[in-house]
């Protein structure tokens, strides 16, 4: 690796205090970024400053401290709007996370637009939060949930990619909404959402995109993508926990009934009837997480810095090296099964459609045991079902190990991880 690249990556890592700590006496190698990312100093400082200098409830008071808080909250909304290239601030709703954003749409959209005998289409590679809310909604309104399969389910391959040939026949006239996943939290595969959205729109079907992983690993432009809804969580993109975003087209958000009732989402209230506040507040009942939401501004600025100029180039090259190294390691050993290979036929081909998320099993070894041993070596990886039980089951797995890399991870860390994994494997075999 060039020393210039090395220096750039070091300067990024220096911004993130958590990365320099030790676990079990070893330098932490944090590879659970698909679950949550570590926070840069500018987000930590902003949060701390907010609690000291801007801590007052938003939108409600006539004093300066509340004005400052409201300004920071609405500033973050503008930052999100511009980051997503959404046309209006009214398109951006603050929620508590991707899960809450999807639940909001599943409840309100289905209440207004979905009825008995209608169909909701979801994807086989979805996280539970893009499955269960639709099942609940379908139950409430008497609709059915249909699943767009992967090649594993149709028996046409083992890559974990969506079987797009099934799409046309699934999108029948009863389909009212299609819920997509931009990047799977298991396979890391980047789904062709643009193509799928175009196919759905050709039949008048609106589309929600779960961007929980996509927001981190791709440049998102909701106007170009032309999705009708886009959901993501702040904590996965260097921001605070308990904050999420729902982008929605105004035509839908305006027609949809509120999801929750309470303060701030009303215009007038009598004991008999309530009229609702205009967007976006109609969907932001109660005191929002105004401190966390405001911190989306420095979090997004950090993400933008990582994606700009020389920094972006260095991180991209490092990520490509990590992906090649990890794919080679995980596919050259017959005792390892990797879930989500870009191409079912040729190893290493099409890595451009895979985010650096690697979920796999080592034959005859329990993933949880491996994760525990790795922890003792300073390596943090996730094991279990990763909230995608149907997808993992379709691969024939009941649990797995997942190493998910962020732009601040290094090839050196990937190498140490695989060495530690081999040591843990030898201990358990």
Phi, psi of 341 (to 5 degrees): -105, 140
The residue (of 209 and 377) whose beta carbon lies closer to ligand PLP is: 209
**Active site residue: 110, 227, 387, 420, which one?**
387
The residue (of 357 and 365) whose beta carbon lies closer to ligand PLP is: 357
Q: How far is the CB of 185 from ligand PLP (least distance, A)?
A: 3
Site pattern 79..98 for ligand PLP (x: CB under 6 A): ------------------xx
Contact range with ligand PLP by CB under 6 A, out of 40-48, 72-80, 125-133, 147-155: 125-133
How far is 171 from 159, CA to CA, in rounded Å? 23
Positive or negative, the CA dihedral 379, 35, 384, 191 is: negative
**39, two tokens:** 């926070």
420 classed as catalytic: no
Positive or negative, the CA dihedral 30, 303, 45, 60 is: negative
Q: Residue 70 interacts with ligand PLP (CB under 6 A)?
A: no
- Residue ranges of alpha helices (H) inside 114-227 are 132-141, 151-154, 167-170, 193-202, 214-217, 222-225
In order, the DSSP letters of 60-128 are S-SSHHHHHHHHHHHHHHHHHHHHHT-S-GGGEEEESSHHHHHHHHHHHHHHHH--TT-EEEEETT--G
How far is 345 from 353, CA to CA, in rounded Å? 15
Q: Which of 91, 99, 191, 409 binds ligand PLP (CB under 6 A)?
A: 99
Q: How far is the CB of 130 from ligand PLP (least distance, A)?
A: 6
Q: Coil, helix or strand for 175?
A: strand
**421, two tokens:** 């994994």
Contact range with ligand PLP by CB under 6 A, out of 81-89, 123-131, 263-271, 348-356: 123-131
Q: How far is the CB of 275 from ligand PLP (least distance, A)?
A: 30
The residue (of 149 and 214) whose beta carbon lies closer to ligand PLP is: 214
Q: How far is the CB of 129 from ligand PLP (least distance, A)?
A: 4
Question: Within positions 181 to 200, which residues make up the interface with ligand PLP, using CB under 6 A?
Answer: 181, 185
Residue whose entry in the numeric block shows the structure tokens 């870009």? 342
Contact range with ligand PLP by CB under 6 A, out of 7-15, 66-74, 206-214, 405-413: 206-214
Site pattern 209..228 for ligand PLP (x: CB under 6 A): -x-xx---------------
The residue (of 91 and 98) whose beta carbon lies closer to ligand PLP is: 98
Q: How many residues form the binding site for ligand PLP (CB under 6 A)?
A: 14
Q: Which of 50, 70, 103, 129 binds ligand PLP (CB under 6 A)?
A: 129
Distances (CA, A) of 362 to 213, 249, 365, 425, 428: 25, 44, 6, 8, 11
Which positions ≥6 away from 422 have C-beta within 8 Å?
none
Contact range with ligand PLP by CB under 6 A, out of 115-123, 126-134, 191-199, 392-400: 126-134
Q: How far is the CB of 95 from ligand PLP (least distance, A)?
A: 9
CA angle 343, 348, 353 (to 5 degrees): 60
Residue whose entry in the numeric block shows the structure tokens 């300004």? 71
Residues found near ligand PLP in the complex (CB under 6 A): 34-35, 97-99, 127, 129-130, 181, 185, 210, 212-213, 233
Please list the active-site residues.
387
């Amino acid at each position: 690796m060039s020393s210039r690249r090395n220096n750039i990556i070091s300067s990024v890592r220096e911004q993130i205090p958590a990365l320099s700590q030790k676990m079990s006496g070893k330098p932490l190698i944090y590879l659970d970024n698909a679950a949550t990312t570590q926070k840069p100093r500018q987000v930590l400082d902003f949060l701390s400053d907010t609690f000291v200098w801007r801590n007052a409830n938003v939108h409600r008071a006539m004093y300066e401290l509340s004005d400052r808080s409201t300004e920071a909250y609405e500033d973050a909304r503008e930052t999100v709007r511009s980051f997503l290239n959404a046309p209006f601030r009214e398109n951006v709703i603050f929620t508590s996370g991707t899960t809450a954003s999807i639940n909001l749409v599943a409840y309100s959209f289905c209440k207004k637009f979905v009825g008995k005998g209608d169909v909701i289409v979801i994807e086989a590679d979805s996280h539970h939060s893009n499955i269960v809310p639709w099942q609940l909604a379908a139950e409430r309104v008497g609709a059915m949930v249909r699943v767009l399969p992967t090649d594993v389910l149709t028996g046409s391959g083992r890559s974990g990619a969506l079987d797009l040939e099934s799409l046309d026949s699934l999108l029948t006239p009863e389909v009212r909404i299609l819920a997509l996943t931009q990047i799977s939290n298991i396979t890391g595969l980047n789904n062709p959402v643009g193509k799928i959205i175009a196919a759905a729109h050709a039949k008048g079907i609106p589309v929600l995109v779960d961007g929980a992983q996509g927001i981190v690993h791709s440049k998102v432009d909701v106007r170009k993508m032309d999705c009708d809804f886009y959901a993501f969580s702040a904590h996965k993109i260097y921001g605070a926990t308990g904050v999420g975003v729902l982008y929605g087209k105004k035509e839908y958000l305006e027609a949809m009934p509120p999801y929750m009732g309470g303060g701030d989402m009303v215009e007038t209230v009598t004991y008999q009837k309530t009229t609702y506040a205009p967007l976006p507040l109609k969907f932001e009942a109660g005191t929002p997480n105004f401190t966390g939401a405001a911190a989306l501004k420095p979090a997004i600025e950090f993400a933008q810095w990582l994606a700009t100029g020389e920094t972006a180039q260095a991180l991209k090259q490092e990520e490509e090296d990590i992906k090649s190294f990890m794919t080679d390691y995980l596919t050259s050993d017959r005792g390892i099964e990797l879930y989500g290979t870009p191409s079912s036929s040729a190893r290493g081909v099409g890595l451009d459609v895979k985010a650096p998320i690697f979920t796999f099993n080592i034959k005859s070894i329990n993933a949880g045991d491996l994760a525990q041993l790795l922890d003792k070596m300073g390596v943090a990886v996730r094991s279990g079902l990763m909230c995608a039980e149907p997808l993992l089951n379709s691969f024939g797995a009941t649990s797995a190990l997942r190493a998910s890399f962020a732009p601040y991870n290094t090839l050196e860390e990937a190498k140490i991880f695989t060495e530690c994994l081999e040591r843990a494997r030898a201990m358990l075999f």
